[in-house]
Amino acid sequence: MNYQLLLFDLDQTLFDTNTNAENALRKMQLPFEFTFNADKINYWHRLQAQMWAGLERKEMTRDELINTRFSKYFAHYDIAADGPTLERQFQQRFFAEHTLMPHARTMLTQLKQRYHLAVVSNEVRAKQVRQMGDAHIDQFFDRLFLAEEVGFSKPDQRFFQTVKAKYATVDPANMLVIGDSLTADIQGARAAHLDSVWFNPNHAAQPATNRPRYEVNDLQQLVPLLAD
């Protein structure tokens, strides 16, 4: 392998975003009686997966997703809720959470010695910079490519075209995308003619099409994989 540039997704790849969201939800002060038990947390994750998939399919904008997800969530429980107000409170707590996936820091420390690392994320700068700084992983990355600044979201090819343009001296054949999303990361990389690694800690079945070049179930597996 002759990779020079490793392009990392952050949420559910380096950050344990589900845990961070759960911690933030349980710390919220709601204007009505409600307890985030296991079943209600599971519904939150299901709804988020549906809404983010809709964003990737361009069925909604990011602002629409963010400003309506709490009202849609609580409507499921027949509770009328002020979505934007609850979102602001949630973000204050969510941005302060920074639990990493197992072995993320060790893996980054080892790979930084041999490769250039950059972030490719559909999230906003305020969140990613805060969490990366609090987790002390910001020093590993040369650049951050964030959808709100690029102007396009993964899997749009234009997102990855921006990355290629910024690293014009690196052959795209020597770039590798690493992420958990089969659509945003793997399908996006494939459409942009970039190799990819699917981070699949839950051992889900690979799709029939748009397969990744590689798959790992633990971040530490990246180190020997890239050494082969």
pLDDT at 84: 97
- Higher pLDDT: 58 or 212? It is 212
Between CA 74 and CA 40 the distance in angstroms is: 10
Write the secondary structure of 72-109 as one string of H (helix), E (strand) and C (coil). Answer: HHHHCCCCCCCHHHHHHHHHHHHCCCCCECCCHHHHHH
Short-list 150, 149, 183, 162, CA closest to 52: 183
Three-class secondary structure of residue 148 per DSSP: helix
pLDDT at 216: 98
Q: What is the pTM of this model?
A: 0.94
pLDDT per position as a tens digit, 16-35: 999 999 999 999 999 999 99
pLDDT at 105: 98
Q: Strands across the sheet with 5-8, in order? A: 143-146, 116-121, 5-8, 175-179, 195-199, 214-216
Q: String of b and e for 154-171 (b: at least 16 CB within 10 Å)?
A: bbbbebbebbbeebeeee
Q: Give φ, ψ of 100 to 5 degrees.
A: -95, 160
Residue type, 202: N
The two three-digit tokens of residue 104, written as one number:
């993320």
- Cβ(128)–Cβ(119) under 8 Å? yes
- Cβ(89)–Cβ(28) under 8 Å? yes
pLDDT at 56: 85
- Only one residue has tokens 């399908």, namely 187
pLDDT per position as a tens digit, 4-14: 999 999 999 99
Please determine, for residue 176, whether its predicted confidence score (pLDDT) is greater than 90: yes
pLDDT at 152: 92
Between CA 9 and CA 215 the distance in angstroms is: 14
